[in-house]
Amino acid sequence: MRIGSVELTDSVILAPMSGVTDMPFRRLVKQRGAALVISEMIASQAMIRQTRQSLLMASHTPEEKPMAVQLAGCEPEVMAEAARLNLDRGAAIIDINMGCPVKKVVNGHAGSALMRDEVHAAKIIEATVKAVPIPVTLKMRTGWDDQNRNAPRLAKIAEECGVQMITVHGRTRCQLYTGKADWSFIRKVKEAVRIPVIGNGDVQSVEDAKQLLLLSGADGVMVGRGAYGRPWFLAQISHYLKTNEKLPDPPLEEQKNIALRHFEDMLSHYGEYTGLLMARKHLGWYSKGLTGSSEYRASINQVGTAQEVRNLTAEFYNLNLESGHE
């Protein structure tokens, strides 16, 4: 699949997720076969000020290439400047967020709030596209609510402004993450534009991915929460879509090594104190479905040092290996 000048090896993409798709997780998912990984949503104003947090969120490694940076904001000139800064820092693609449903973002007239003002949304898109020579993409929802599902119209506007790919999460803003993603509605967006359209929402299995593509007619699939604790999941989807064959999860010993390596990468990326706070949720996701996972999660949330978490994690996996857990 091609996004403007960027050629992807596949059409299975990791969704941008705040507090999740940091550099350690993106790198891990990319190493295991994702076509494209996207940064956490970065506020364009923070990027302009080059705050420590925004610079950390936008940092990336050669293994992630091509890597996209997602920006959120409501001021065209600020979005444009933030896009230029990320171009200078090596981003291959700039993704505009018009889908975030979180109240803090929406109240700042950014994220999915922009779907309520197509004229202003167009100004932001146009300014960002004109600011950089690399492809600009757009992620949005089906609309603000059930009475205002204007994604097809906004997608057409975005295409006319020069956007090279559209991703649609199959929910309205007012649904937040409740209910079911409407994969069939994404087809209306696909029919409205000539550029690639990616479907997103509720992909928890390889069968879900195939069904999303069947119902939506989309060119690819974006995986969000389904990748929690499963950095290998996108590769499984890709293999299934090509061969109709299911790849098993990695052996438990390999899962143990992945979890521990991810933990060490987070400590290195954030420093021990913040890294430990950030890593606990990932370790909890990795443990899902294993014997004693609830006790393990409680334990790692109670201890105070990285070494204690290392020891508890190794012990947890070793007990599962000894019990013959597959």
Residue among 119, 121, 77, 82 nearest 99 (CA): 121
Please indicate whether residue 74 is annotated as part of the active site: no
Catalytic, out of 74, 100, 161, 174: 100
d(CA 316, CA 252): 11
d(CA 298, CA 125): 45
The DSSP output letter for 78 is: H
d(CA 103, CA 92): 29
Query: Cα dihedral angle (30, 2, 214, 236), rounded to 10 degrees?
Result: -20
Residue among 216, 40, 75, 39 nearest 142 (CA): 216
CA 214 to chain centre: 22
Strand pairing category for 93-98 and 136-143: parallel
Which residue numbers are catalytic? 100
